[in-house]
Structure 1
Amino acid sequence: MSTSAIRVAVVDGRELSRRGLALLLDDRDEFEVVAAVAGVGELAVVPDVALVDGSDPGLDACSALQQLAPTARILVLTDAGDADPFAAMGAGALGLLHREASLGELVEGIGVVAEGHTLVSSSMTARMVSGFRDTNGSANGHGKLTARESEVLLLVAGGLSNREIGLKLGIAENTAKNHVRNLLEKLRLRSRTEAAMYAVREKLVEP
């Protein structure tokens, strides 16, 4: 086991799921699985990354982790049947990954979150954008954003830089910058901070 291995904890109330994930990850040199537990209260070691089930009990786990192990970075595994992805981010998750992601995507996602970067898989972004467009359509006095601008707003609210947005969406950094400028103009906002505050106010993300 490498001394620089990422310490991972699997928090999942489903025994087969957490045991399976733990076995898959512990078999890799870049990870050290320090716990596979049903609840945060069972953790005896603070992990670098906590891999959390995205159902409602899992959201409680996110909140509990924020209190008990604030240095742990949280990656939530979720799907369309789980709670609103905004709730997961509001509960402290740094990343959202679809539960049916490949092992390669999971490995990459853990690495991204371990480095302190925000991660939202494309399928989760689509859900978030869909929810945003439903809300944005009724926003008072604001010009409607395009689907891409809506997507960029969510990523801005998640703390991503223009460069990170570009990498996430597969567009040039300057294009991402232009989208940010356009959405600020349409929403009559002056800064990225105001954009993030707008997203919270409109309940597009949790504070």
Structure 2
Amino acid sequence: MRATDVVGVLVVDDHAIVRRGLRAYLDSEPALKLLGEAVDGQDAVERLQQWRVTGARMPDVVLMDLQLPKMDGIEATRVVVRDHPEVKVVVLTSFGEAERVHAALAAGAAGYVLKDADPDEVATAIRAAATGEVHLDSAVARQLARRMAAPRTGLSSLTTREREILVLVAQGLCNREIAEHLVISERTARTHVSNLLGKLQLSSRTQAALLAIREGLVAPPT
């Protein structure tokens, strides 16, 4: 689309106060138009499909949170990009860890902005995505640069979520139980477990559990 066109936006966030703030901001921007809101990833996917079937105007950009119930933002991004390649996804989240950024970009996100960014940066990211560009929050870009300059190993290489899942693995939870506990999909839980095993160079959940005990992340069984 042209840079002068009005960009249609779908906001996806499970917090009503966040959606309200974004709604007010988008309404104040003449070049941006709020087309709808979704409360989780599954809701977003279903709304897009409904709009496609009814012939309604599709959003140019989906503003996607990552921490969502039912279907998290990474998986929802992957589905949106796969099923609606003309729709761009910009992640708007509180989490700036390099692993989350990599996962979002790998899923097809065209932008990544932190929620504490200046409102104008959100608009910049939306417009950039709509015109086929990729925009990264300046803090996120610095984080990636530091990560590339000094790669981490061992437990320090795990994201906050992966460390959390490592503890749950050590407590004996299966992927389904981890998914239920963290309100994510079982597929996402399985991916996290696989990723943390790879980073720690372990071949089994038992080895992961023993490592977590040895490192003091969980108490040894009595």
Q: Please give the TM-score of this superposition, normalised by the length of structure 1.
A: 0.58
In the alignment of these two chains, the number of paired residues is 137
Q: Take 1:69 and 1:46, find their aligned partners in 2: how far apart are those partners?
A: 9
Q: Percent of pairs identical after alignment?
A: 27
Asked if structure 2 preserves the Cα contact closer than 8 Å seen for 1:59 and 1:91, the reply is yes
Contact 2:10 2:36 in 1 (8 A): yes
Residue 9 of structure 2 aligns with an amino acid whose one-letter code is V
- Given that residues 26 and 32 in structure 1 are in contact (C-alpha distance below 8 angstroms), is that contact kept between their aligned partners in structure 2? yes
Which structure would you say has the larger Rg?
A: 2
Q: Could you tell me which residue of structure 1 aligns to residue 159 of structure 2?
A: none
In structure 1, the partner of 2:132 is 116
- Asked whether the equivalents of residues 74 and 95 of structure 1 are also in contact (C-alpha less than 8 Å), the reply is yes
Look up the SS of the partner of 1:32 in the other structure: strand
Q: Which contiguous aligned blocks of 4+ residues in structure 1 show a shift greater than 4 angstroms?
A: none
What's the RMSD between the two structures over aligned residues?
A: 2.6
CA deviation map 1:7-55 (0-9, x unaligned) = 1111112222123212210232111111111232233352111111133
Q: Secondary structure at the match of 2:122?
A: helix
Task: Please show how residues 6-21 of structure 1 align to structure 2 within 5 Å.
Answer: 6-21=7-22
What residue is the counterpart of 2:47 in the other structure? 42
Q: Which residue of 2 aligns with 1:101?
A: 117
Contact 1:54 1:77 in 2 (8 A): yes
Alpha-carbon distance in 1 for matches of 2:96, 2:89:
20
Paired position in structure 2 for 1:58: 73
- Residue identity matched to 1:64: V
Q: In 2, are the aligned partners of 1:46 and 1:69 still within 8 Å (CA)?
A: no
2:164 corresponding residue in structure 1: none
Q: Distance in 2 between matches of 1:4 and 1:35?
A: 18
Which residue in 2 is equivalent to 1:71? 86
Distance in 1, Cα, partners of 2:18 & 2:139: 21
Q: Deviations over 1:91-127 (max 9, x none)?
A: 1101111211111111122111111111112100122
- Partners of 2:147 and 2:132 in 1: how far apart? 26
Gaps of 5+ in 1: 138-202
Does the aligned pair in 2 maintain the 1:54–1:78 contact within 8 Å? yes
Partner of 2:31: 30
Q: Measure how far apart 1:81 and its partner are.
A: 6.2
Measure the CA separation in 1 of the matches of 2:138 and 2:96: 16
> For the residues of structure 1 that align with 2:106 and 2:81, how far apart are their CA atoms?
11
Deviation at 1:60, TM superposition (A): 1.7
